[in-house]
Amino acid sequence: MTDSVFRETTAEPRTQSVPLAHLSLELGHLYMEDFEAGPERLREHFAEVRIWVDAARASAARRIGGKRPRISTCFLIDDYFRRFSTPAELVPMVLEEAERAGLVIDYLARESGCAVADKTELAEAVMHRLVESPPPGSYGSRPPVSQTGWLANGQRTPATRTAMAETTGWQPPQETAARNHSVFMDVELWSEKDKQRLWSCPFLAAVWQLARLGLLRHLGEPVLIPRLWNGGDFPYDWDQLPPLLQLNASAAPFSAYRTCTLMANRFLPVEDAVRLILDQIDVDSGALRQVAERSAREGAAVPAAVAQRATYVFYEESAGAFSYGET
C-alpha cells in the first residue's frame, strides 16, 4: 500500500512563459516636450533612427548565424511625468512620422504602464525584488534601498563625523566591481510628495527593459501583455488607452532575447542608471530559465547578466534640438 501525497497547487507556483522574438527594437522613448515641439521634431528623430535600424537588424541576423531573425519594434510614450495632448491627436502623428521615415511601429506603450498596468503595481513589485550588492567592508550602517529610495553600485563617501563627534578624514566613494578605478553611481528610484510616490525615469525604464526581455512576472503570470488594436479611433483620455498596444497583427512577439534601443545621446545618463538597477534585481528564476533554455535551442544564447542583454545606439541630435531633463 502506498501513501498518497497531497499538495496545494499554490505551493508550487509555475512561471508562465511568453512568446519571444530574437530582438526587441525600440524606435523611440521621448519626453512630452518632444511632442510639444511638433511633427518636425518627430520627423528629425525618426529620420536619424532609420539610419541605424538596418545595422541593428543585421547584427541580430549575425548572432543567429545569418538566418532571418524575429524582430519586433516598439515605441514608448511618456504619459507618466506629464501629459500632453490626447492619444487621439498624438498617436496618429507618431505613426505618420514613423511611416514617413519608412518605419513600422509594432507595439506602442505608455510609460505609466510601467508603474501600474491592469491594476498590477509593476514598479512596486520590481522594487521588492531589489537585492543590493553590499560593498566590501560595509557594516550595514547604510539604510536599505526600500527606505531611502536610492541605489548605488558601491560604497558611498563615509560621513566625516562619527557618532562620538570625532572628525575623520575624507574618503572617496568606491565602486564594488571597479576595474583599476571607480565609476561610482547613486541612483534615485523614487521621490515622495504628500505621501504619494513618484517613480523615477530610470526605474520605470528598468521595468520596461524587463518586460521587453520577457522577464517581468507577477505571481508567476506575465504582465504588460500586448492588446491588439482594432484599428478604430484612439481615445481622448490617456487612461482609456491600454498600457501596451499591438498595432501590427503580424508582428513578431513583443518580448525578445535581447533589446536594442535607439535614442538621442541626452538619454545616456538615464540608461546608465537603468543598467545599474537591472544588475541588482532578483529576476524571476523561472523566467530566466525559460529564456536560457529556449535561446540555447535556437542557437541564440544570451548573457547570464540581464543588463548585458540590453544594447543601445545613441545618436547625436542636431544643433537646433533642445536639451532638458525629466519633469
The more confident residue out of 134 and 90 is 90
Q: Is-above-0.85 flag for pTM? A: yes
The more confident residue out of 155 and 151 is 151
How much of the chain exceeds pLDDT 90, in percent?
64
Ranges 175-179, 206-210, 234-238: which has the least confidence: 175-179
**pLDDT the model gives residue 181:** 83
Question: Comparing C-alpha atoms, which of 266, 260, 258 is closest to residue 313?
Answer: 260
**pLDDT the model gives residue 285:** 94
**pLDDT the model gives residue 2:** 47
**pLDDT the model gives residue 158:** 72
Mean pLDDT of 20-25: 98
With bands split at pLDDT 50, 70 and 90, how would you rate the model's confidence at 9?
A: very low
The DSSP bridge partners found for residue 182 are none
Grid cell, residue 101, equals: 521615415
Task: Give CA 294 to chain center in angstroms.
Answer: 22
Pair 208, 278: CB distance under 8 Å: no
**pLDDT the model gives residue 211:** 97
With bands split at pLDDT 50, 70 and 90, how would you rate the model's confidence at 173?
A: confident
At 118-144, the pLDDT tens digits run: 889 999 999 999 987 665 555 555 678
With bands split at pLDDT 50, 70 and 90, how would you rate the model's confidence at 147?
A: confident
- Evaluated on CA atoms 277, 295, 208, 52, the torsion sign reads positive
At 100-119, the pLDDT tens digits run: 999 999 999 999 999 999 88
Pair 30, 45: CB distance under 8 Å: yes
**pLDDT the model gives residue 178:** 74
Pair 189, 276: CB distance under 8 Å: no
How much of the chain exceeds pLDDT 70, in percent?
87
How many C-beta neighbours within 10 Å does residue 77 have? Answer: 26
Q: Which residues contact 58 (CB under 8 A, 6 or more apart)?
A: none
CA distance 235 to 238: 7
**pLDDT the model gives residue 320:** 54
The more confident residue out of 195 and 134 is 195
With bands split at pLDDT 50, 70 and 90, how would you rate the model's confidence at 51?
A: very high
Q: Which long-range contacts (CB under 8 A, 24 or more apart) does 14-19 make?
A: 14/220, 14/286, 15/217, 15/220, 15/284, 15/285, 15/286, 15/287, 15/289, 15/290, 16/217, 16/220, 16/221, 16/222, 17/290, 18/214, 18/222, 18/253, 18/255, 19/253, 19/254, 19/255
